[in-house]
Each structure stands twice: as structure tokens, then as C-alpha cells.
Homo-oligomer: A and B are copies of this chain.
Amino acid sequence: MSIVALRWLDPPAGPAIELLDQTRLPVSETALTCTTVPSLVDAIRRLVVRGAPLLGIAGAYGVALAAARGDDVTAAAQALAQARPTAVNLGWGARRALGAYLRAAADPDQEVQRGAARAALREARSIADADEQACAQMAELGLALVPAGARILTHCNTGSLVTAGEGTAFGLVLAAHRAGLLTMCWIDETRPLLQGSRLTAYEAGRAGLPHKVLADSAAASLMAAGQVDLVVVGADRITADGSVANKVGTYGLAVLARHHQVPFVVVAPVSTIDFGTADGASIPIEQRPPEEITHLAGQRLAPAGSDAYNPAFDVTPPGLITAIVTESGVIQPVTRGNLRVLSPET
């Protein structure tokens, strides 16, 4: 049974957005229903719903929710966009639904005006549909980069829990499995929030993939032992020069992959590319609460008074990336010029 991370509920149950509460996986599969934008913003902040593509979809549905409720839709879009600073998709999805809403609301035809909320919802649905299609296309295009018998290392969680389809990087792993190319999926546990051991292992188990979880720090010796043929990761934001902001630990993997001559592939939809940001140095990196490091599940790990450095993301420069797989093509080598082909302005 496939995993549905986000679902729109029409009346009479809605208008509402039902989320699979990812903070409770894999122990419990619990749905959280958001009937207001502030509750959705809170869910986004608490990582109930997470992952770049899904956040774009959540942002769009959030605007549709505000519109359906008759809230201030522009204010709602702004609140959603700011829920997590590094996640460019959030603002992108919110703005797309807001644009559809505002265009309809400003239409001279009163019938169209009255349907503005439905226009926002249609836009959210179309983003979700496009994402599902993009996942399938990325997996298909990415397969060309997967050798037979591949042992693929992945980081964080990039599957059905974070997209409307089968995922970005993990979608490619799944496609490789289906194509008979996969020998092993190595899953970094991905501290501090353990998206790898909690969520990707959950998805891998559901899909019947051969997989093993490892401490993030064990990836290096695994590569040294020749046990990794390919590293695939997703992206939270890709800047115009091809720098990739992604879950903390991604950059270290890229350095290790280069050192061990293992291809390092980023799988992300075109919507992840932020052509308005020139380079990786311009990406604001979200610092998350130290308690994510010093505590686990309410239990104290570090002594009282110990502070922690806890960036959510890091930035991998284009020079360390073998290829970026998008739904519109594979960028290889990763250069500003090659990326520009995907810009909406070209």
C-alpha cells in the first residue's frame, strides 16, 4: 500500500489538510488534521510534514485552505512561506496558489471571482499532480546513472513521505530496485532527527528493498571498503551556480564520495532550483534548537548546560556533484550554464 503523506479533505470533513504525522513514524501511523493555517504552520515547524517537494504542496494547499475559510489569503501565504526559512518550495507553492487565487479574485467575471478559492485549490492539486509526474520522470532519467548490482547510499528521507509521488532520490532507488539493478540500499540514520532510520527505513521496508541503516559517521569506512557504488540525495534548494542545500551531512558525503571516486548524484525537481540566488554562500542556513542534539524523545543525552551547534542543512558546491537529475533532464556536469537551460526565463 502506498504512503500518502498529505491529503486535502473537502466538506463535510473539511476544508482541511490531513497529514501523516511523520514525527511519530515508524512507531505509529497517526493522521493530524489541520483546519486552520496557523495549525498547518505549526505542523510544518514541528516537521509533522517535511521535505522540499511536499512542503511546496503543503504551502499551496495551505493557501487553498485560507481561501476556502475566507481568511486573509495573502497573509496566510506569507505565514506559510516563513514557516521554515531554508525551504524555498514552501514560498513557491504558497505563491503559486496565491497567484491563482488573486488572478481569479481580480477577474471582471463575477463567476470567476466567486470561484477564487476553488482556483487556489485547483492550483494546489495541479502542483501535486505535476510533482507525482516529476518523480516518475526523474526516476526514469536517473536510471541511466545506476550501474548493475548497485549498492546505493542515501541520506535523509526523500520518498513518498516528502513528495506526491515515489520520491526524488529514493524514487530513483525504488526504480533501480524494480529494474533489478539494486543490491543494497545503505541508509544513513541522519542525525539529529533520524529521518533515515525512522522514515527511509520505513519506506524501504514497505517496498521490500534490501537495506541497512548505519550511523552517519560509518559511511566513510563503508566507501573505503568499496561497498558504495553511488550516493544519491535530494535537495532543499539549488542555487543558480548548482550549489545544493540539503540535510546536514550531505556535504560531508559529497567530500567523501569525491575522495573515494564514488559518483554523487542529486535528484530534485526543477522547482527546487532557485535561479534568483546566485550561489551557495547566499543561502541562509536554518539553525535548529540545540535540544535536537542534547535530548532524544524527551530524554537528556548531554549534561545540563551543554549547548549544541545544530544547522539543519549544509551546502554542497557544484564541483563535488556528479549530476543533478531533474524531471526535465540530467545536468552533467553541474555548471551555471548547464543549469540555466532549466530556467523559466530561457
Chain A residues proximal to chain B, CB less than 8 Å? 25-27, 186, 188-192, 194, 197-198, 201-202, 204-205, 211-222, 224, 248-249, 251-252, 255-256, 258-259, 285, 290, 293-294, 296-297, 299-311, 314-315
| A26–B302 touching, CB < 8 Å | yes
Task: Identify the closest chain B residue to A224 (Cβ).
Answer: B251
Task: For the complex formed, measure the closest distance between the CB of A198 and the CB atoms of chain B, giving whole angstroms.
Answer: 6
- Given A220-B314, A293-B189, A296-B296, the answer on whether A213 and B249 have CB atoms closer than 8 Å is no
A297–B298 Cα gap in the complex (Å)? 11
Task: Identify the closest chain B residue to A189 (Cβ).
Answer: B293
| B214–A216 touching, CB < 8 Å | no
Task: Identify the closest chain B residue to A156 (Cβ).
Answer: B217
- Given A302-B198, A310-B215, the answer on whether A256 and B252 have CB atoms closer than 8 Å is yes
Residues of B within 8 A of A248 (CB): 215, 217-218, 221
A232–B306 Cα gap in the complex (Å)? 20
A296–B189 Cα gap in the complex (Å)? 12
Task: Identify the closest chain B residue to A298 (Cβ).
Answer: B299
A334–B109 Cα gap in the complex (Å)? 79
- Given A294-B197, A314-B221, the answer on whether A307 and B252 have CB atoms closer than 8 Å is no
| B221–A315 touching, CB < 8 Å | yes
Contact partner of A252 among B186, B205, B217, B251, CB < 8 A?
Answer: B217
Residues of B within 8 A of A251 (CB): 220-221, 224
Q: Report the copy number of this chain in the oligomer.
A: 2
Task: Identify the closest chain B residue to A247 (Cβ).
Answer: B217
Q: Could you list 8 A-B pairs, sorted by A, with CB under 8 Å?
A: A190-B217, A191-B215, A214-B293, A220-B252, A224-B251, A252-B256, A255-B259, A296-B297
- Given A249-B220, A256-B255, A311-B221, the answer on whether A301 and B194 have CB atoms closer than 8 Å is yes
A141–B28 Cα gap in the complex (Å)? 54
Q: How would you classify the secondary structure of chain A's contact residues: helix, strand, loop or mixed?
A: mixed
Most buried by B among A224, A290, A310: A224
Residues of B within 8 A of A26 (CB): 300, 302-304, 306
A305–B311 Cα gap in the complex (Å)? 31
| A294–B213 touching, CB < 8 Å | yes
Most buried by B among A204, A255, A304: A255
Contact partner of A302 among B192, B213, B221, CB < 8 A?
Answer: B213
Residues of B within 8 A of A202 (CB): 302-303, 306
Q: Which 8 A-B pairs have the closest CB atoms?
A: A217-B249, A220-B252, A26-B303, A221-B314, A216-B217, A191-B215, A197-B302, A201-B306
- Given A26-B303, A212-B307, A302-B197, the answer on whether A249 and B192 have CB atoms closer than 8 Å is no
Residues of B within 8 A of A219 (CB): 252
Most buried by B among A211, A213, A249, A304: A213
Task: Identify the closest chain B residue to A196 (Cβ).
Answer: B302
- Given A198-B302, A202-B303, the answer on whether A191 and B213 have CB atoms closer than 8 Å is no
| B218–A249 touching, CB < 8 Å | yes
Task: For the complex formed, measure the closest distance between the CB of A290 and the CB atoms of chain B, giving whole angstroms.
Answer: 8
Contact partner of A306 among B197, B285, B293, CB < 8 A?
Answer: B197
Task: For the complex formed, measure the closest distance between the CB of A254 and the CB atoms of chain B, giving whole angstroms.
Answer: 8
